[in-house]
Amino acid sequence: MLHSRAAKTAFAACALAFSVSFPVHAGDKVQTLKTITGSASWYGGKFHGRTTANGERYNMHEMTAAHKTLPFGTKVRVTNQRNGRVVTVRINDRGPFAGNRVIDLSRGAAQAVGMIKQGVAPVKIEVL
């Protein structure tokens, strides 16, 4: 429990410093901080179990993604613009490094939005 004013101030400052990677709530709705559109790809088996850029083990079945610049831990909502399917993923890796793509989804996330067969899909990314 935080008793001192200094402890409460320090806690508030830390929470504010890390607020970029947490959703901003407006009532019951989650407000997006930024929207990005472009092509998404996915990566799977070849990388399963390897270390990601943030140091954790890549699990192709989790809802994660690689992005070139978003901070690790950032949650983003990805909408496949071909079929309207949506998934929320956590950024834990860097990429994609092929083509002009904006995000590289884990296999599990790609399956959730229905883009496994196509390999690449047009997406809208909303930073939460």
- The domains of the chain, with CATH numbers, are 22-127 (2.40.40.10)
- Is the pLDDT assigned to residue 19 strictly greater than 80? no
Residue 126 has pLDDT above 60, yes or no: yes
Q: Partners of 57 in the beta sheet?
A: 51
Q: Which amino acid is at 24?
A: V
In the predicted model, is pLDDT for residue 97 greater than 80? yes
Q: What is the mean pLDDT of residues 81-109?
A: 96
Average pLDDT over residues 76-95: 98
What's the pLDDT tens digit per position in 46-79?
Answer: 999 999 999 999 999 999 999 999 999 999 999 9
- Taking 70 as the threshold, does the pLDDT of residue 11 lie above it? no
Lookup: tokens for 108: 């599990």
CB of 43 closer than 8 Å to CB of 104: yes
Sort 124 into a burial class: Cβ within 10 Å, 0-12 / 13-18 / 19+. Answer: middle
pTM over 0.85? The answer is no
CB 89 within 8 A of CB 65: yes
Q: Terminal CA-to-CA distance of the chain, rounded, Å?
A: 29
Q: Which two tokens stand for residue 107?
A: 């296999």
| Alpha carbons 56 and 68: distance in angstroms, whole number | 17
pLDDT at 22 over 70: no
Task: Give 124's pLDDT tier (boundaries 50, 70, 90).
Answer: very high
Mention every residue, 6+ apart, whose C-beta is less than 8 A from residue 70: 76, 91, 127
